[in-house]
Amino acid sequence: MKSSVPDPIDIALHEDIGDGDVTTDSFVEKNAHGRAQIVARERAIVAGATTAKEVFQRVDPALKVKVVRDDGSEVKPGDDVIQIEGAVRSILKAERVALNFLQRLSGIATATRKFVDAAANNHVKILDTRKTTPGLRALEKAAVVAGGGFNHRFGLFDMVLVKDNHLTATTDFDALAKAVRKVRGSRPKIQIEIEADTLEQVHGFLAIGGIDVILLDNMSPAQIREAIALGKNKVKFEASGGVTLKNIRQIAATGVDYISIGAITHSARAIDFSLDITDAGA
């Protein structure tokens, strides 16, 4: 049965090529055959190489495409990432879409690696969030993993995360505790996480029981340490909010289990790659 999930590659090719590449079809001979390389123009962590390869092969299954640097590889300026051989028209039609995926996803992987390195702590896991490009979540979360990070929940369906707006809509702690017990009964294996803005909330959530993770939102390192001391060996703790490359090491040193960072997906800078045709002829 065909998946009901939209295919981002098909969408991207349709919006770019439409009913035909008028420039390439007008100026490049139909029987022109060539070789090309996608080359890194800066230091980066590669992600999306297999996606870019798939773009070329969707445009023309006859193209020979070789991924030289797998996802997670570190590249420097001048390094080949992908090599392509075949019809020049096909290479040119796929070029922009393939580069768009590669540049965007490598940007996420590179940003993730910077945070992982800056944390300098093997105990803490750097997590992504749901702050992803609509339609590209699976690819962007894979890019986080390529950069050395870990995935938080994929969507609203695979984990419970009670945030401040949920708490506002919940009448009191008794209602919250009842809801936690209900989820535990109906879905015993699902992870339950709840957001705390204050240490008072941490006290209350620990008393409820049945919670796996407490998210400490915009707390100082001192507050994080105090929260961890309160819940040691009872729950895991996640720090979130205001995390930067300058302060992540200090946050990681508190002993927190997870640090989630929306910026690694929503604000990652695209990496500079280019496609160079090096040999073309009839």
**Domain positions in the chain:** 8-107+269-281, 116-266
Question: Does the predicted TM-score (pTM) go above 0.85?
Answer: yes
* 113 tagged catalytic: no
- Burial (CB < 10 A; 0-12, 13-18, 19+), residue 282, is exposed
* 131 tagged catalytic: yes
* 141 tagged catalytic: no
Which one from 76, 163, 187, 232 is the annotated catalytic residue? Answer: 163
Q: Which residues contact 121 (CB under 8 A, 6 or more apart)?
A: 249, 252, 253
At 166, list the tokens.
């949920």
Which one from 35, 41, 96, 130 is the annotated catalytic residue? Answer: 96
Beta strands at 213-217 and 273-281: parallel, antiparallel or unpaired: unpaired
In the CATH scheme, what is the code of domain 116-266? 3.20.20.70
Asked if the domains at 8-107+269-281 and 116-266 fall in one CATH topology, the answer is: no
* 178 tagged catalytic: no
Which one from 21, 71, 193, 195 is the annotated catalytic residue? Answer: 195
Which one from 79, 128, 140, 217 is the annotated catalytic residue? Answer: 217
Which one from 35, 131, 225, 249 is the annotated catalytic residue? Answer: 131
As a whole number of angstroms, the distance between CA 70 and CA 82 comes to: 9
* 53 tagged catalytic: no
In the CATH scheme, what is the code of domain 8-107+269-281? 3.90.1170.20
Average pLDDT per consecutive 10 residues, the chain (282 residues; last block may be shorter): 73 97 96 97 98 98 98 98 98 98 98 98 97 97 98 97 88 88 94 96 93 97 97 96 97 98 98 92 67
pLDDT at 4: 61
pLDDT at 1: 40
